[in-house]
Structure 1
Amino acid sequence: MERRSFLKKAGMGVVAGTAVVGAPAVAQDNPEIKWRMASSFPRSLPALFGTSEKFANYVKEASGGKFIIDVFPAGEIVPALQVMDAVSNGTVQSGHTCGYYYFGKSPAYCFDTAVPFGLTARQMMAWILEGNGKKLLRELFDPINIVNFPLGNTGVQMGGWYRKEINSLEDLKGLKMRTSGFAGEVLSRMGVIPQQIAGGDIYPSLEKGTLDAVEFVGPYDDEKLGFNKVAKYYYYPGFWEGGPQVSAYVNKGEFEKLPKHYQAIIESACMHATANMLAVYDAHNAAALRRLIAGGAVLKEFPKEVLDAGYKETVQLYKEFSDKDPMFKKIHDDYMAFRDDLAPWFNLVEGSYTRYLAYAIAQSRKS
């Protein structure tokens, strides 16, 4: 089904579900509303910033042009890392950001994006929709006047760009690295000096030598930001971001003022835009990686020693935060039980299939 057709039918459907009488009620039930959405991302990243624009377009189309959401890139209304506050206090009605940017407020917010050795993109959506994820995250955000929705997922990310090779844990010591949230805390225990810097400010810091390494997303975005020009070693996997979700945060008071069918349109538009973002990354990462390697990037796998240390520190941190914060523990226990239940199945079918397929393709290209 084409996007426009889908959205118009979706919009009519949710309206019909709330209208007392048929078609004439549609126009009456679609009041003119205008919102602002502050993004944590620059316009130069079409997958991230573009997803919020797609979301706004979906809302506009499904409401017959009556519900308009103007999207602003990082810095135009508020700085990239202050979007949550702006939504919470009503400066803007909505925002597009990542929960783990606000780790300093509460580590539990990271569960809305990603935690080290956590869920993949598909598993995250399963936890949200079929597990207890939606209920638990709504409980988490309710005290700060926010209603949260998934609004994008990048899929598993890379481990970042480094000026030097990482051959052992010793090579991480003293490394000034751009990273966010829970990952920064884990890496700091491994000797890294974490720096939280908004996406648009990373390249200048790397170029000037303020940073020794940077992790952001993956080939499609990293190529656009030019990290390979100043740090040639490209490591994988990003064990701290197995399936990072990006979110729409909506001011609770503003959301509750909306007609019920507008609320439904927001939720439907978020889901549609989320699927689109993941499709963009899946479609473009491979080609971007080939271009980066052709341009001189050196692809490297983290040593097992690094992964083992990362896992050990992660488990210890989970315990420490759970002991201090009942809400963190409540979400953590449910999230990890869900992860542990799914992991063997995904390894059995997805893992075996993708490993063999990669082998078979490589062999066929040799012949």
Structure 2
Amino acid sequence: MSHGKIREDKTCLNCGYQVEERFCPHCGQENTERRQPFYFLFTHFVEDFTHYDGQFWGTVKNLLFKPGRLTNTYLEGKRQKFVPPVKLYIFVSFITFFLFALFPPFKINYGHTEKKEHDVTKTSTTKNQTVQNIVNGIEAEKLEVKDSAKIAELNQAQTYIQDSLKKGSFQEGLISTLDTDNKIADDSGFLGYKTQEEYDKGTANKKDIFSFINDPFAHKFFSLKEEGVKKGDILRNLIETSFHNLPKALFIYLPIFAFFLWIFHSKRKWWYFDHGIFTLHYFSFLLVSILILALLIKAAGSLAEYTFFPSLISLIIFAVSIYGLIYFFIAHRRVYKSHGVVSIIIGAIIFFLNLIAFTFLVTGLALVSFLMLH
């Protein structure tokens, strides 16, 4: 309930209707003073979403602990009891990604610290010594073998190992797998072409249905190669750009998720609108769950020096993850009121299809994010 100062004039500023109490009975506008203290901007924002009369907190409680309750209540026509689905989703999405911006759920660090470099050097030296011991063992075995064919085979093996050791192939994997500290190699290419000029000439007369995809990716690849951008910077920017585009991807996927629900349920009993309400509530729950998991992971990292708390938080994370997995099936059963086994089968099919579709969407998001790198 707003705490803005009530006007003495009982005429509604919006429609001119007579207002006997706080709200106009004709248009619903609150009859408060036109000008308020500056802090009212912030208090009004909080009040608008949290509703001090308990609407918001009641919505959150039912969203988290009573799967399907919000959807059933809304479809029954009780629209004022809880926060509307669209408003709830927008607010939860805003809070989730706002907190993620302030407290990133992951930290990307590609630089090798002095300690790591020392460990890599030490490990590399140990492995080189091991390989050298193998070579020495082969040499000793050659002294004991009298068969010329066997000696030739041992010589070949010894030569191969020594050459591999010199080239460093036995040290692969000791440095970062992605080699993030280095730039894109000069001899690396896209579809077999080393430069943009080679690509343009080679594909000039080979345009096909995939050209509209290959061309922009080739241009971006060669552009990054010419600029000398490090692989670690590319990967970091790719992850960050993809993460920033995730809210858009989720919003785009809302109608797709509802479409899969529409396919598997009676068209006479359930309208696409009904599936949309279920989807908004379910996605709101997913966002809240992701936020809770991210905060728990942060807490576990901060309390890592203690013995008891990390184990407890890990147990809570596991419980929240399992609950998040079965939440959909519980909500689906309560809203669509299918038979237990039928509901589980249909729910599993819908869940699996959405998992595949969302994977394609995330892949597309990553590809778009790559094109947006700069």
TM-score by length of 2: 0.24
TM-score by length of 1: 0.24
* Greater relative contact order (Cα < 8 A, sep 6+): 1
More helix as a share of residues:
2
